[in-house]
């Protein structure tokens, strides 16, 4: 859970830090780099919360009802209404993210439709591979590299779980040390 630091930053410091974060996110070259950056910056719980907000916004813009979103994403009504309010008041970032998600969904849908059409160019090549083997080999290499990217993201998520466990252990040790030091001071 996020903690509030009661030592306030100035408005200029906040803007500078936010700009730097945006700059670093915009400069990531690929999904792997973005996943590694988020793994290093955020806890597993924070990633889940942000991911759910993005999905809530996506479903709301598709016209999905609160009750359905609640069941699909296992979130509360206040969370959904908060994201809905953000969409109503600003929402430009959500809308541009939605466009990117929709493009990704269309690409995936097109791939699925081609795989079921026996007369598609893709299936013709699979049926007669000796004529198209160089192209098929190259595509398989590319496809396997995409699988490597997925594996990299999976490993990043696993490391995020380790990071959370490490943080809890360190926090427990630090808390124990500060309590024992305070107790020693009180005894003196």
Determine the structural domain holding residue 123 and report its residue range.
118-188
87 found inside a domain: no
Number of compact structural domains in the chain:
1
Position 65 scores a pLDDT of 95
Position 72 scores a pLDDT of 92
pTM greater than 0.75 (yes/no): no
Query: How far apart, in whole angstroms, are the C-alpha atoms of residue 36 and residue 79?
Result: 27
17 burial via Cβ count (<10 Å: 0-12, 13-18, 19+): exposed
Query: How far apart, in whole angstroms, are the C-alpha atoms of residue 77 and residue 90?
Result: 20
Is the pLDDT score of 146 beyond 70? no
Is the pLDDT score of 99 beyond 90? no
60 found inside a domain: no
Position 143 scores a pLDDT of 59
Position 159 scores a pLDDT of 74
Is the pLDDT score of 134 beyond 70? no
Residue that wins the pLDDT comparison between 82 and 127: 82
156 found inside a domain: yes
CB-based contact 21:142 (threshold 8 Å) = no
Is the pLDDT score of 95 beyond 90? no
177 found inside a domain: yes
Query: How far apart, in whole angstroms, are the C-alpha atoms of residue 50 and residue 38?
Result: 11
Query: How far apart, in whole angstroms, are the C-alpha atoms of residue 52 and residue 76?
Result: 11
174 found inside a domain: yes
CB-based contact 37:28 (threshold 8 Å) = yes
Q: Span 90-106, mean pLDDT? A: 83
Position 29 scores a pLDDT of 85
Query: How far apart, in whole angstroms, are the C-alpha atoms of residue 85 and residue 60?
Result: 11
Residue % of the chain over a pLDDT of 70: 60
166 found inside a domain: yes
pLDDT digits (tens, 9 = 90+) for 26-66: 898 888 888 888 888 988 889 899 989 989 998 999 999 99
52 found inside a domain: no
58 found inside a domain: no
Comparing 2-6, 97-101, 150-154, the range with the smallest average pLDDT is: 2-6
Position 104 scores a pLDDT of 76
Residue that wins the pLDDT comparison between 134 and 78: 78
Is the pLDDT score of 158 beyond 80? no
């Amino acid at each position: 859970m996020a903690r509030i630091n009661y030592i306030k930053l100035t408005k200029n410091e906040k803007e500078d830090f936010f700009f730097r974060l945006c700059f670093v996110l915009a400069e990531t070259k690929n999904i792997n780099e973005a996943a590694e950056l988020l793994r290093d910056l955020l806890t597993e719980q924070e990633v889940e919360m942000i991911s759910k907000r993005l999905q809530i916004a996506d479903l709301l813009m598709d016209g999905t009802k609160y009750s359905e979103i609640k069941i699909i994403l296992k979130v509360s009504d206040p969370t959904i209404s908060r994201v809905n309010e953000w969409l109503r008041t600003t929402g430009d970032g959500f809308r541009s993210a939605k466009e990117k998600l929709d493009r990704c969904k269309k690409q995936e849908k097109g791939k699925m439709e081609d795989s079921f059409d026996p007369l598609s160019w893709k299936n013709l090549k699979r049926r007669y591979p000796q004529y198209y083997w160089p192209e098929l080999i190259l595509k398989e290499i590319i496809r396997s590299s995409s699988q490597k990217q997925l594996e990299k993201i999976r490993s990043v998520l696993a490391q995020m779980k380790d990071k959370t466990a490490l943080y809890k252990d360190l926090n427990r040790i630090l808390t124990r040390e500060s309590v024992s030091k305070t107790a020693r001071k009180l005894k003196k």
